[in-house]
Amino acid sequence: MSPSAFDVTGADRQHVWHPYTQHGAADPPIQIARAEGAYLVDVNGREILDAISSWWVTLHGHARPEIANAIAKQAQTLEQVIFAGFTHEPAAQLAAGLVERAPVGLERVFFSDDGSTAVEVAVKIALQYWVNRGEQRRTIVALENAYHGDTFGAMSVSARGLFTEPFATLLFDVVRLPDPVEHDVVSALEAVFAEREREIAAVIVEPMLMGAGGMRMWSAGALRGIRELTIAHGIPMIADEVLTGFGRTGPLFACEHAAVSPDLMCLSKGITGGFVPLGATLATNELFDSFKSKDRTKTLFHGHSYTANPIACAAGIASLALLDENSVERRREIGWSHRAAATGLQLIEGIRNVRVLGTVMALDLVARDTGYLSKIGPALGRFALDRGVLLRPLGDTVYILPPYCATDDDLARAYDVIADFMEFQGEPR
């Protein structure tokens, strides 16, 4: 391919606003020309190992022909149609495929655009469920350090902090449970129910792994405890599996670690294999039936222009097929590789709390400044990029979250670059 004459750098600098980017301080973005498998290739032909699945979305690998072909075929057949009053095979088939693989009891699929909207839909279903039943329950229970997305409802149930600070006064209040990594979250929930059960509309959790809050891994026992309490009190539990879905934590869904089924489950990120945006909120028939009525005010008045976009659904079906084919074995191997590497990394001075859950490895760096704005994260990011590895630490937390096609050699490159950084760190820069 001949290089385009278009001035990408100039146009980007003048006209593009990037996500989570401080344009007053950021390095210029790297222009990627193409990608294949676990690698991105920049315009100069330099290969970069994508050790974070391009913000946790790329599932099987970049440019998988099975998904690319499904998208091309669908785009030439039916690219889009209004989803109110109409349906199509890709949506029906993907819904059935998701239900078949999801924890038992989740029977209905509401499609949306991304993880944040999948959470918005879950929260709105839970809140309106009580309205439809004629009960005044307006309060959501959520976890400390949670991250559920960047729209207002999703921000409201997320932890308050740096990301939400400018909007703090506009977010709705939630009851906050303590971080389940360090606290007895089940007793805390029990206390909440004892005190104000009749206000509580739902409990939302990121099962097993709190992602953007610092790749914090918590126990199946606590998840099961939360689920048992919500069942006992008849309060819907929302499992936000936007990150953990489709095998990231080992089993297909993180809820399987605790053998629990939530009432609502949010999916996105890996749902199309990481090719195109799509969100899905799965619900039980009990919730669905609470909206079914001759009374039109009980309708779920929610929808997006591109709800159940056929191209996105076709990608989702192709991705499910790839998951079925061979990814179980590879996911297990990635876990083994992580655990073997963890032993060595844990011994390095300045690295602590190395942890592994399924295909995700995370560790904390000892830094002078802590938290998301810690300077050590960007320093490691630059160091790794110079060596052809894409890492994007969450402040002082570093993680590896590879596409499943990553080989043991690829993974070793990622571990090594972290170890090397710790060695170089002592030197003046």
Ligand X SMILES: *Cc1c(COP(=O)(O)O)cnc(C)c1O
- Report how far apart, in Å, the C-alpha atoms of 206 and of each of 2, 124, 144, 239, 289 are: 45, 17, 11, 6, 25
Region of 111-119, 256-264, 290-298, 369-377 interacting with ligand X (CB under 6 A): 111-119
Q: Does 240 help bind ligand X (rule: CB under 6 A)? A: yes
- Of these, 53, 128, 249, 268, which contacts ligand X (CB under 6 A)? 268
First to last CA, the chain: 38
Tokens of residue 144, six digits: 């400390």
Nearer to ligand X, 142 or 351 (CB): 142
The site that binds ligand X (CB under 6 A) totals a number of residues, namely: 14
Region of 2-10, 131-139, 142-150, 283-291 interacting with ligand X (CB under 6 A): 142-150
Q: Does 211 help bind ligand X (rule: CB under 6 A)? A: yes
Q: Which residue is nearest to ligand X (CB)?
A: 115
Tokens 């009053």: give the residue: 85
Nearer to ligand X, 206 or 410 (CB): 206
Question: What DSSP designation does 28 have?
Answer: P
**Quick one: three-class SS letters along 118-155?**
HHHHHHHHHHHHHHHCCCCCCEEEEECCCCCCCCHHHH
Distance CA 110, CA 281 (A): 5
Query: Which residues are catalytically annotated?
Result: 20, 147, 240, 269
Query: Strands of 389-390's sheet, edge to edge?
Result: 32-36, 39-42, 47-50, 389-390
Sign of the CA dihedral running 212, 379, 61, 89: positive
Tokens 């996911």: give the residue: 331
Q: Does 119 help bind ligand X (rule: CB under 6 A)? A: yes
CB of 162 to ligand X, least distance (A): 16
CB of 304 to ligand X, least distance (A): 12
- Of these, 52, 212, 367, 406, which contacts ligand X (CB under 6 A)? 212
- Of these, 52, 67, 102, 242, which contacts ligand X (CB under 6 A)? 242
Distance CA 261, CA 274 (A): 25
Tokens of residue 138, six digits: 């307006």
Nearer to ligand X, 53 or 128 (CB): 53
Distance CA 335, CA 250 (A): 8
CB of 308 to ligand X, least distance (A): 16
CB of 64 to ligand X, least distance (A): 20
Pick from 353, 396, 350, 391: which is nearest to 376 by CA? 396
Nearer to ligand X, 150 or 396 (CB): 150
Q: Does 149 help bind ligand X (rule: CB under 6 A)? A: yes
Q: Does 115 help bind ligand X (rule: CB under 6 A)? A: yes
- Binding residues for ligand X, per CB under 6 A? 114-116, 119, 147-149, 206, 211-212, 240, 242-243, 268
